[in-house]
Amino acid sequence: DSGVTQTPKHLITATGQRVTLRCSPRSGDLSVYWYQQSLDQGLQFLIQYYNGEERAKGNILERFSAQQFPDLHSELNLSSLELGDSALYFCASSTGTEDSNQPQHFGDGTRLSIL
């Protein structure tokens, strides 16, 4: 058990809809990362938050947004959903020191299916 909790485990919705994925990081971890994993694109880094502030941005679409709350949990919001957004979405956390060479601890993901 990594200590990172993601909800829900599965999500099925339709094109054009909006969903929110939730992540609770490991106790004591300040950094939260979001990733998208699909068969054709592999594991894509989306965004990182550190102690409530955006720290790094990867290949995140404008239709997607995220935030990290004061209690350090994070949410990833996906809107105007398209068929191509169907994927596994992972959250990971780390201690997130300034010189961040610490490993990340991954949740088991949310499987998003767009019909």
Partner 1 sequence: AQSVAQPEDQVNVAEGNPLTVKCTYSVSGNPYLFWYVQYPNRGLQFLLKYITGDNLVKGSYGFEAEFNKSQTSFHLKKPSALVSDSALYFCAVRDNRDDKIIFGKGTRLHILP
| Residue 64 binds partner 1, judged by CB under 8 A | no
| Contact mark string toward partner 1, 66..85, x via CB under 8 A | --------------------
Q: Report whether 27 contacts 44 (CB < 8 A).
A: no
Give the CB-side neighbour count of residue 88, counting CA atoms within 13 A. Answer: 14
| Residue 45 binds partner 1, judged by CB under 8 A | yes
Q: What is the C-alpha separation between 62 and 112, in angstroms, rounded?
A: 18
| Residue 55 binds partner 1, judged by CB under 8 A | yes
Nearer to partner 1, 54 or 82 (CB): 54
CB of 61 to partner 1, least distance (A): 16
Q: What is the C-alpha separation between 74 and 21, in angstroms, rounded?
A: 8
Nearest to 81 by CA among 11, 2, 8: 11
| Residue 23 binds partner 1, judged by CB under 8 A | no
> Phi/psi of residue 80, each to 5°?
45, 55
Q: Compute how many residues bind partner 1; rule: CB under 8 A.
A: 24
| Residues contributing to the site for partner 1 (CB under 8 A) | 2, 4, 33, 35, 42-43, 45, 48, 55-58, 90, 92, 99-101, 103-109
